[in-house]
Amino acid sequence: MRQRYGGRIRYWCSDESRVGLLTVQHRKLTGFGVQPIGSVQWDFVYRWLYGLVEPLSGASWIVEFSHLDSSCFEAFLHSFAAQFPDDLHLIQVDNAAAHTAQTLTIPDNVILVFQPPYCPEVNPIERVWRELKRELAWVHFDDVCQLQHAISQWVCRLSAESLRSLTQWDWIVDALCVAGI
């Protein structure tokens, strides 16, 4: 298998995150016992971000979709695999229905590695989504275009170094070294 893909095997962490016009409420600095005050926008218009992060290099692949289902996940995987056709990709995913659908067609150079059920804390990309939500906290957007623009700016500001610092956990690096990846 290693010879087929030029000897390069890459390990990625994948997850999806819903972002929308509903205000993300986050902590604010206030006096002890004083509840933070902020205006909340109650628009339930959402977009889904599908993301991949490679903890060893800090490389990333983030694509926006209108909803979360197996057909969108399949399109996401195929666009990703086409971008890096010479590598074999091990992708850590959760057990969401979109990832386990019987109709899901997985590209030849992708292997899905399922994390234990109900354990989002073992997926480093969750920290990336937390940073995005922190960035969007208490911000009001007039429409989806403004939200998309803010997300695009945030993605452009992401550096490989910052992604490595968020996702390169010691146990992942140790496991990949032992596996020879």
pLDDT digits (tens, 9 = 90+) for 20-64: 765 666 666 778 888 777 666 666 777 899 999 999 999 999 999
Sheet with 9-20: list strands edge to edge: 60-65, 46-53, 9-20, 88-93, 110-114
Question: Has residue 113 been placed in a domain?
Answer: yes
Q: Mean of the pLDDT values across residues 132-147?
A: 84
Distance of CA 172 to the CA centre of its chain: 17
Quick one: pLDDT band at residue 99, thresholds 50, 70, 90? very high
Which tokens in the block code for residue 177?
Answer: 């070294």
Question: Has residue 3 been placed in a domain?
Answer: no
Question: Has residue 50 been placed in a domain?
Answer: yes
The whole-number pLDDT of residue 179 equals 83
The whole-number pLDDT of residue 23 equals 62
The residue that leads in pLDDT, 160 or 31, is: 160
The residue that leads in pLDDT, 125 or 120, is: 125
Q: Is the pLDDT of residue 143 over 90?
A: no
Give the contacts of 92 (CB within 8 A, at least 6 positions apart): 11, 12, 13, 14, 113, 114, 115, 123
Q: What is the pTM of this model?
A: 0.83
Question: Has residue 91 been placed in a domain?
Answer: yes
Q: Give the domain extent around 86.
A: 9-22+43-172
CA neighbor of 77 nearest in space, from 16, 19, 123: 16
Domain total of the chain: 1
Q: DSSP strand E in the chain: where?
A: 9-20, 46-53, 60-65, 88-93, 110-114
The whole-number pLDDT of residue 117 equals 87
The whole-number pLDDT of residue 2 equals 53
Question: Has residue 31 been placed in a domain?
Answer: no
Question: Has residue 29 been placed in a domain?
Answer: no
Half-sphere exposure of 78 (CA within 13 A, CB side): 9
Question: Has residue 36 been placed in a domain?
Answer: no
* Mean pLDDT lowest among 3-7, 62-66, 90-94, 130-134: 3-7
Cα separation, 43 vs 49, whole angstroms = 18
The whole-number pLDDT of residue 18 equals 86
Q: Mean of the pLDDT values across residues 91-119?
A: 94
Question: Has residue 37 been placed in a domain?
Answer: no
Query: What percent of the chain clears pLDDT 90, i.e. is strictly above it?
Result: 54
The whole-number pLDDT of residue 51 equals 96
The whole-number pLDDT of residue 22 equals 58
Distance of CA 93 to the CA centre of its chain: 10
Q: Mean of the pLDDT values across residues 109-118?
A: 93
Q: What is the CATH number of the domain that holds 99?
A: 3.30.420.10
